[in-house]
Amino acid sequence: MKVSYNWLQNYFEEKLPEPEKIADGIIFHSFEVEETDKVGNDTIFDIKVLPDRAHDCLSHWGIAKEISAIFDLKIKEEEYKTFEPKQTELKIEVQDEKCLRYMGRIIKNIKISESPAWLKEKLEAIGQKSINNIVDAANYVMFDLGQPIHSFDLDKLTSSKLIIRNAKAGEQITTLDKKEVNLDESVLLIADEKDPLVIAGIKGGVKAEVDNSTKNIVIEVADFNPVSTRKTARKINILTDAVKRYENEISPELCEKTMHAITDLIVKVAGGEVEDIVDVYNEKQEERTVEVSVEYLNKRLGSNFTKQEIENVWQKLKFEYTEKQDNVFEIKVPVLRLDIIGPHDLAEEVIRILGYDRLEEKLPEVKCEQKANDLFTKILYARNKLLTDGYSEVMTYVFRDKGEVEVLASASDKKFLRTNIADGLKESLKLNQLNMPILDLKEIKIFEIGTVFKKGKEEMHVAFNVKKEIKEMLLDEFCKDMGDVEVAFKELINSVPKLNSEDKFNIWSVYPFISRDIAVWMPESEDPENLKKILKEYGTDLMIKEPYLFDKFTKEGRTSYAFRLVFQSYDRTLTDDEISEIMAKISHKISENSSWEIR
Amino acid sequence: MDKNLEKGREHPLSVIINNAVKVFTELGFSVAVGPELEDIFHNFDALNVPKDHPAREMQDTFYIKGEDGKVLRTHTSSVQIRFMEEFAKSGKKPPFAIIAPGKCFRNEATDATHEMQFYQIEGLLIGEDINLANLKGVLSHFYKKMLGEDTSLRFRPSFFPFTEPSIEFDLKYKGRWLEMGGAGMVHPNVLEACGIDSKKYQGFAFGPGLERLMVIKYGMPDIRPAYHGDLRFNQI
């Protein structure tokens, strides 16, 4: 969610810390800040509000409350104008319990116009387009408080009655962006006595659209069931900012504050006469209290926080609390904090506000029963056995173009899970055979240990090649002779080679390599290093690896050394000619030594 | 024939996995395993991930065609559930400590840091007073063993349905802070779903990716060659 620094500043008398400090505070105490962008004289944060805080933090107000708690800054609570009671003709009938609360209010004789500069600026700062003063006001309040709002043109309704009901089979609605949407009985609607007006919580329709000639409006501030809103939105494939808030569940209690905020703002930017609110709120949200002790918090966190420190957290978060008995608090959970259910949730509040850096690193002192795992030990055993026999380990993809088990929703052409390792291993064998000269191997011997998937079961297999043939079998079969699992595990895990801090990976070039072999007779007594030195020196930087001694034999006082030289560039394809030139220079240099002879 | 048979080259991920298991074995953990083709109960429900909740979409899941309720596991957290169910059924009482390295799957676009198949290492330690500071101690110890003493660890707030508090942890290595993975204190609902008394027992779980550790350890620019069956990858 995009959040404006200047907008946040409205919540505080005091000057906020610099944007970088704010971002850091949010990162270490609340949420990830994915981006901090300077835009004009404002800074825009892109904040990844965590799913469990979407209830109360998909808004500037929510983030301002976080900042207030993190930096211990006093937050200004906005005062909204109240209006004289005025009887209203508006009627609201809620027919389905998927509507948790519905507040409506008529405002008459408003004047549609462009929004004032400050309002446009605020919306544009967070990437929202300005439309007109009424639509903008509703948008602004949503991004400010987190509660979606809808407005209808009262004069376009069949009567001044709104009905919240399920759609009828075959019913249709044309949305504000002129899309025809087919509805069914699972879709909750706001309708007048004749037609659907809004897909509840998701998208408005054209029938009662507010336009430039609108004079009288109805404001909707409502709450809907998160699961059904989400399901409908997915089904008709319309994802709006309103959906994002409803599907994560927001408190029906938020409606009231929002109604006051939006009425106040509309009157400010568009004038009008305000009528009484009609509020259908059948099942009031229950107040929740959670009990938590200082001892519980410290036990769960592994900390030594004092009662005073913990009380400070409640105060910073504006939690109402009482100390029920010594060191035991009863917290009245703020209505918007739907995420706080039990004491474990309060443990998170305490540690994130006091700071995770307050935790020491303590190794646990507990002793658990230790048992070797059969499957893991067999994998270790098989791998060790194959490595010892000169086989190298590869891993290949589980996803193939055919098989018995198919995955859904994959855009890829490899939608099946492998039924064997052999197919992948064959491809690996081919690839590695082509690369043989750069692998310093006399023969390609490879294996893989992994899961294969057959209809209704998965099996752990071992596969390896014998020349061009692939042998594949069950891991259990391969490990027949492993013996006692405890003994095997201990032995194998203790012989795991130590990690070397010097080890470094070198990525290979994507350009083809060229390999050349050279064999030279040398006096038996002479060190082949002398030859290797020349090969390296005249091989130039294009020789990407040490000359590899692949053959050696002695005859009549002379030894023949056969080296393989591999040339490759990281930025181009080499030509045969340039390598021949290098080889010529090497040969020339070798021939300068009368006791050597190129075979 | 060459009598001094040269030893084969191990895949770098195996090198990492074996060393990780060794470090945790020395700390008293035992290896646990579970199926890669999982049911939704073990992958989501028992982990306190509500149905029809946006949290279920945090992980792009591979569902199985024609097999309702089956998925390729999106994390090794499912092994926690399988282990704890068995443990509770056997009538044993905590403490217990398990480590579960295993292949996981996510239906997402691949790039230099993401693959559709990858390894996680799940850790779980439950006892009477296992706490968040213990989690910090264990993770810090592990990364020092794997990457050297000159590393430091920090926590940031996060959210997973199966832990509370939930954290994301970063590691400072060679002067830079690197995101490593997620962890937290096991949510009481998860313990209860497995038949473990959450009033009496508590503990932590973590599940960092192992490719991440491998690329950091060896300075690899891209994780994708790991699954190409290419022996040029076995340099370690």
A494-518 residue pLDDT tens? 999 889 888 888 888 888 899 999 9
pTM of the model: 0.91
Q: What is the overall mean pLDDT for chain A?
A: 95
pLDDT reported for residue B3:
44
Give the pLDDT mean for A245-267.
97
Query: Could you count the other beta carbons within 10 Å of the beta carbon of residue B58?
Result: 15
Among the partner-chain residues A31, A357, A425, the one whose CB lies closest to the CB of B229 is: A425
pLDDT digits (tens, 9 = 90+) for B166-209: 999 999 999 999 999 999 999 999 999 999 999 999 999 999 99
CB pairs under 8 A between A and B: 278
| Residue B1 pLDDT exceeds 50 | no
Containing A25, the helix (H) or strand (E) segment is: helix A19-29
Question: What pLDDT does residue B8 have?
Answer: 94
Per-residue pLDDT at B2 exceeds 60: no
Residue of B132, B147, B216, B220 for testing the chain A interface, max A β-carbons within 10 Å: B132
Residue A574 burial class via C-beta count within 10 angstroms: exposed 0-12, middle 13-18, buried 19 and up: middle
Share of chain A above pLDDT 90, in %: 89
Residue A285 token pair: 């949200």
Tell me the shortest Cα–Cα distance from B113 to chain A, in angstroms: 15
Q: Which residue has the tokens 């009380």?
A: A311
Least confident of A41-45, A429-433, A479-483, A568-572: A568-572
Indicate the helix (H) or strand (E) that contains A279: strand A273-280
Alpha-carbon distance A379 to A385, whole Å? 10
pLDDT at B4 over 60: no
Chain B positions touching A359 (Cβ under 8 A) are 132-133, 136, 155
Residue A570 contacts B where some CB pair is shorter than 8 Å: no
Instruction: Check residue A317 and report its DSSP letter.
Output: T
3-state class (DSSP) for residue B230: coil
Residue of A386, A405, A507 with shortest CB distance to B8: A386
ipTM (interface predicted TM): 0.96
Q: Say yes or no: A439 contacts chain B, CB-CB below 8 A.
A: yes
Give me the helices (H) in A174-327, please: 226-236, 241-247, 254-270, 294-301, 307-316
Give the amino acid at A357. D
Assign B58 a pLDDT band (cuts: 50, 70, 90).
low
Per-residue exposure over A307-344, b if at least 16 CB sit within 10 Å of its own CB, e if not:
eebbebbbebbebebeeeeeeebebebbbbbbbbebbb
Instruction: Tell which of A58, A295, A376, A504 to mutate to test the B interface (max B CBs under 10 Å).
Output: A376
Inter-chain residue contact B229 with A394, CB threshold 8 Å = yes
Query: Mean pLDDT over residues A475-504, rounded?
Result: 94
CB A21 within 8 A of CB A29: no
Residues 15-74 of B with CB under 8 A from A: 15, 18-19, 21-22, 25, 27-33, 35-37, 52-55, 58, 62-67, 72
pLDDT digits (tens, 9 = 90+) for A18-57: 999 999 999 999 999 999 999 999 999 999 999 899 999 9
Measured distance CA(A412)–CA(A207) in Å, rounded: 42
Per DSSP bridges, beta strands B151-160 and B30-31 are unpaired
Report the percent of chain B where pLDDT is more than 70: 96
Does A393 contact B at CB distance below 8 Å? yes
At A411 the pLDDT is 67
Partner B contacted by A434 (CB < 8 A): no
pLDDT exceeds 70 at position A265: yes
Q: Which of A274-278, A499-503, A565-569 has the lowest mean pLDDT?
A: A499-503
Residues B20-29: tens digit of each pLDDT = 999 999 999 9
What confidence tens digit (pLDDT) does each residue in B100-151 have? 999 999 988 888 888 899 999 999 999 999 999 999 999 999 999 999 999 9
User: Is any Cβ of chain A less than 8 angstroms from the Cβ of B157?
Assistant: yes
d(CA A315, CA A305): 15
Query: What does B96-159 look like in DSSP terms, one character per residue?
Result: EEEEEEEEEE--S--BTTB-SEEEEEEEEEEESS--HHHHHHHHHHHHHHHH-SSEEEEEEEEE
Q: How far apart are CA A461 and CA A417, in angstroms?
A: 14
Predicted pLDDT at B53: 73
Q: How far is A242 from chain B (nearest CA, A)?
A: 14
Q: Taking each helix axis as running N to C, give the angle between helix A60-71 and helix A133-145, from 0 to 180 degrees, rounded to the nearest 10.
A: 30
Answer whether A416 touches B (CB < 8 Å): no
Provide, as residue numbers in chain B, all residues whose Cβ is less than 8 Å from the Cβ of A430: none
Question: Mind listing the pLDDT tens digit for each residue in A193-203?
Answer: 999 999 999 99
Q: Which residues of B touch A397 (CB under 8 A)?
A: 117, 227
Provide the shortest C-alpha distance from residue B84 to chain A (in Å): 14
- Residue B55 has a pLDDT of 65
pLDDT tens profile A101-112 = 999 999 999 999
Using alpha carbons, select from A239, A211, A216, A218 the residue that is nearest to residue A164: A218
Judged by CB atoms closer than 8 Å, whether chains meet at A348 and B5 is answered as no
Coil, strand or helix: which one is A458? strand
Look at B8 and A508 and tell me if their CB atoms are within 8 Å: no
Question: Residue B33 CB: number of other CB atoms within 10 A?
Answer: 19
Residues of B in contact with A32 (CB under 8 A): 156, 168
Comparing CB atoms, the residue among B7, B32, B138 nearest residue A387 is B7
Which of A249, A395, A513 would you mutate first to test chain B, the one with the most B CBs within 10 A? A395
Name every chain B residue with its beta carbon within 8 A of the beta carbon of A377: 31
pLDDT in tens, A358-415: 999 999 999 999 999 999 999 999 999 999 999 999 999 999 999 999 998 666 788 9
Whether B226 and A395 lie within 8 Å, measured CB to CB: yes
Contacts of B131 in chain A (CB under 8 A): 299-303, 362
Q: Is the pLDDT of residue A99 over 70?
A: yes
State the pLDDT at residue B59: 64
Which of B:4-23 have CB within 8 Å of A?
Answer: 5-15, 18-19, 21-22
Q: Which residues pair with B37 in a beta bridge?
A: B72
> Which residue of chain A is at minimal alpha-carbon distance from B19?
A496
